[in-house]
Structure 1
Amino acid sequence: MSFIEKAKAKAEELLGRAEEVYGQSHGDAAAQVAGEAHRLEAEVELEEERAEEAARGSGAPRPTDEDGRTVG
């Protein structure tokens, strides 16, 4: 995954989070579900990349919090 693909995945994750919050705050269940779907799809892409990096042995694994998000 190139730098640009990583940036796109992160942007998609942030867009999904924003859409999810919008849905929650406005009582729009469809927007909330769509936002969650965008966020989860992007998180899967990023996690796949982390797994590929670990399999290639490109350094120490990145520390994560209890939600699986990279720390630091």
Structure 2
Amino acid sequence: MSIWDRAKAKVEELVGRAEEVYGESHGDAAAQLHGEAHRLEGEAEEEAALRDEAARRDPDDGAAPVR
């Protein structure tokens, strides 16, 4: 994933956090749950991006024999 994908994931996470706070402060359970879903989706996308970057830096997939 590119830097733009990571930025998009971070924005998704922050929007979700804001929506969660709005839901909590206004007693809107639907907004709170929707915000939590956005936050978790953003966190998952960011973790996937970091994993992809780490895999590109270390191409050893474990298939090579250990010495």
TM-score range, shorter chain: 0.7 to 0.9
Q: Give the Cα–Cα distance (whole angstroms) in 2 for the partners of residues 10 and 57 of structure 1.
A: 22
Alignment-derived partner of residue 31 in structure 1:
31
Q: Does residue 12 of structure 1 match 2:15?
A: no
What is the TM-score of this pair, normalised by structure 1?
0.73
* Structure with greater contact order relative to length (CA < 8 Å, sep ≥ 6): 2
Give a deviation string over 1:9-40, Cα, whole Å, max 9, x none.
11110000000000001100000000000000
Structure of greater Rg: 2
Unaligned runs of 5+ in 2: 59-67
Query: 1:51, CA displacement in angstroms?
Result: 1.3
The CA RMSD over aligned residues, in Å, is 1.2
Percent sequence identity is 67
Unaligned runs of 5+ in 1: 59-72
Query: 1:57, CA displacement in angstroms?
Result: 2.6
